[in-house]
């Protein structure tokens, strides 16, 4: 990878989309300030100039832009390189499953949500409570609505508690939740609770933290810089807090249409819920449960793009939730101060029952194993993919310096540059003004490779003083 931290539309289209790692999050389409790309068959396609090459954007190659590539989760910086900007000096503990402040297991006490929820119903209960309390004015979720084919959710903005409740449960085909942030903007929502799988959380952090000085180019006026800044920062600024879902993979739609409907003879309209617990469980409305061996489902129907994802546990979310190794309960990982603040209030409401992680050793062991396995599975991709070992943490100061070096000698006057920088940063602090940024950190907590012939030894679950309980200490 060259020294410049900047990624372009051309790089994204070649090293992500054409290469085959594009996760279909749609963040690039959401972020495009000039309507150059559309989301077609799950991928970004440039439709502004149909006779031009698939990797040509006139704005990128003319005045300059590349907001899309700056949000793309499959280009450097990736999750591991964004830890410092996301957590900074506020980081609590750090382990193989990322930075966290607390890890524990929880269940909602609301019976209707507990019944509909995938595991402990925590995601839905937290969003419903936050909406009732006015902490959010809406939530971005995946749900199968009246206009969707059965079993195929679409991204939705839920503004009422009933709409939030209707989104309970997980669907294992991909649903590009980031795209719904455009609807949230259209509806004028300003405090959104965002739910998504890890590759949908990462673009939000990139939109929040990528240094905007790259928007200032020789040919651009402040007005265009301001527009591009709005698209780079706008979606993430709307998010009040994010809930990331643990995720090893999604399945191709053919799991539903070929395997379940055609081969197993189960009409998709009769499917009430799915789960993956060592096998794929298909819960039907008549009470029956059909099963597909997980290895078989993965071999035949795992979406290949997921193999390029090393983030099992939504490492950059405010709160991450999953259900491995639990029984009708959700593993909750509080990662940020924002996540902790909202959780403390939620738990104090008495709506949730919590247990320390030490009481859930099986869940802990599976989390450690899966987090490690997922990190290791990512193949080393093209130069800009951020998959080479030992890459640096993203440092906004270096990015700002690189952007200013790129401007040197272009003839842009100091006054014009200053006006454009004003437009790029708006009121936010510039990296040169921020003190306390922590440079590259190794990832602690990795138990490493076992010696030949030895079994991998996992450390015991964390005690409450090590973050292994809810902020209230597991006494709700």
Ligand X SMILES: Cc1cc2nc3c(=O)[nH]c(=O)nc-3n(C[C@H](O)[C@H](O)[C@H](O)COP(=O)(O)OP(=O)(O)OC[C@H]3O[C@@H](n4cnc5c(N)ncnc54)[C@H](O)[C@@H]3O)c2cc1C
Q: Under the rule (CB under 6 A), what is the footprint of ligand X? A: 117-124, 141-143, 153, 167-172, 175, 177, 195-197, 245-248, 250, 321-324, 330
Judged by CB, which is closer to ligand X: 323, or 386?
Answer: 323
| Chain contacts with ligand SF4 (rule: CB under 6 A) | 9, 12, 16-17, 22-28, 31-32, 34, 36-37, 44, 57, 59-60, 65-68, 71-74, 203
Spell out the residues 6+ positions from residue 458 whose beta carbon is closer than 8 angstroms to its own: 364, 365, 368, 369, 447
Alpha helices in 310-409 (DSSP H): 337-348, 361-377, 396-407
Judged by CB, which is closer to ligand SF4: 313, or 385?
Answer: 385
Identify what 57 binds: ligand X, ligand SF4, none; CB under 5 to 8 Å per kind.
ligand SF4
* Of 170, 168, 156, 209, residue with least CA distance to 397: 209
Q: How is residue 8 annotated by DSSP?
A: -
Judged by CB, which is closer to ligand SF4: 30, or 127?
Answer: 30
Judged by CB, which is closer to ligand SF4: 49, or 456?
Answer: 49
Identify what 323 binds: ligand X, ligand SF4, none; CB under 5 to 8 Å per kind.
ligand X
Dist CA 98 CA 445 (whole Å): 9
Q: Provide the minimum distance between the beta carbon of 441 and ligand X in the complex, in angstroms, as a whole number.
A: 26
Within a 13 Å sphere around the CA of 347, how many CA atoms are in the beta-carbon half? 23
Identify what 84 binds: ligand SF4, ligand X, none; CB under 5 to 8 Å per kind.
none
User: Strand, helix or coil at 193?
Assistant: strand
* C-beta nearest to ligand X: residue: 322
Q: Provide the minimum distance between the beta carbon of 315 and ligand SF4 in the complex, in angstroms, as a whole number.
A: 17
DSSP secondary structure of 21-52: ------HHHHH-TTS-EEEETTEEEE-SSTTS
Q: Provide the minimum distance between the beta carbon of 12 and ligand X in the complex, in angstroms, as a whole number.
A: 22
For helices 414-425 and 222-237, give the axis angle rounded to 10 degrees: 20
Judged by CB, which is closer to ligand SF4: 244, or 325?
Answer: 244
Identify what 36 binds: ligand SF4, ligand X, none; CB under 5 to 8 Å per kind.
ligand SF4
Identify what 98 binds: ligand X, ligand SF4, none; CB under 5 to 8 Å per kind.
none
Judged by CB, which is closer to ligand X: 71, or 321?
Answer: 321
Reading the block at residue 75, the tokens are 């280009």
For residues 433, 434, 440 and 443, what is the CA-based torsion angle, rounded to 10 degrees? Answer: -170
């Amino acid at each position: 990878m060259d020294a410049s931290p900047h990624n372009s539309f051309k790089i994204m289209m070649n090293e992500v989309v054409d290469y085959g790692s594009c996760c279909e999050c749609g963040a690039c389409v959401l972020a495009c300030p000039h309507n150059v790309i559309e989301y077609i068959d799950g991928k970004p396609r440039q439709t502004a100039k149909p006779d031009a090459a698939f990797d040509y954007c006139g704005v990128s190659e003319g005045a300059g832009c590349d907001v899309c590539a700056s949000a793309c989760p499959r280009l450097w910086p990736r999750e591991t390189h964004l830890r410092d900007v996301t957590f900074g000096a506020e980081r609590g503990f750090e382990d193989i499953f990322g930075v966290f402040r607390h890890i524990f297991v929880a269940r909602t006490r609301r019976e209707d949500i507990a019944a509909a929820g995938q595991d402990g119903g925590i995601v839905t209960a937290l969003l419903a409570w936050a909406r009732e309390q006015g902490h959010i004015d809406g939530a971005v979720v995946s749900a199968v609505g009246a206009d969707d084919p059965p079993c195929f959710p679409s991204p939705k903005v839920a503004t009422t508690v009933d709409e939030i409740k209707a989104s309970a449960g997980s669907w294992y085909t991909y649903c590009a939740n980031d795209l719904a942030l455009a609807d949230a903007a259209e509806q004028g929502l300003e405090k959104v609770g965002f739910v998504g799988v890890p590759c949908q959380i990462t673009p939000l952090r990139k939109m929040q933290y990528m240094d905007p000085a790259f928007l200032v180019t020789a040919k651009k006026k402040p007005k265009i810089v301001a527009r591009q800044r709005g698209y780079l920062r706008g979606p993430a600024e709307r998010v009040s807090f994010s809930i990331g879902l643990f995720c090893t993979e999604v399945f191709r739609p053919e799991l539903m249409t070929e395997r379940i409907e055609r081969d197993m003879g189960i009409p998709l309209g009769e499917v009430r819920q799915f789960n993956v617990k060592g096998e794929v469980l298909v819960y039907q409305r008549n009470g029956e449960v059909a099963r597909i061996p997980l290895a078989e489902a993965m071999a035949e129907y795992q979406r290949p793009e997921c193999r390029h994802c090393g983030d099992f546990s939504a490492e950059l979310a405010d709160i991450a939730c999953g259900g491995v190794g639990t029984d009708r309960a959700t593993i909750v990982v509080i990662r940020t101060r924002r996540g902790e603040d909202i959780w403390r209030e939620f738990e104090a409401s008495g709506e949730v029952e919590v247990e320390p992680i030490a009481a859930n050793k099986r869940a802990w062991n599976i989390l450690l194993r899966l987090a490690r396995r997922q990190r290791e599975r990512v193949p080393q991709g093209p130069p800009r993919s951020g998959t080479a070992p030992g890459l640096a943490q993203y440092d906004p100061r270096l990015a700002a310096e690189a952007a200013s070096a790129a401007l040197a000698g272009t003839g842009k006057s100091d006054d014009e540059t200053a006006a454009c920088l004003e437009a790029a940063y708006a009121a936010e602090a510039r990296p040169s003004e921020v003190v306390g940024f922590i440079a590259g950190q190794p990832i602690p907590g990795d138990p490493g490779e076992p010696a030949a012939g030895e079994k991998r030894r996992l450390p015991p679950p964390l005690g409450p003083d090590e973050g292994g309980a809810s902020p209230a200490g597991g006494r709700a």
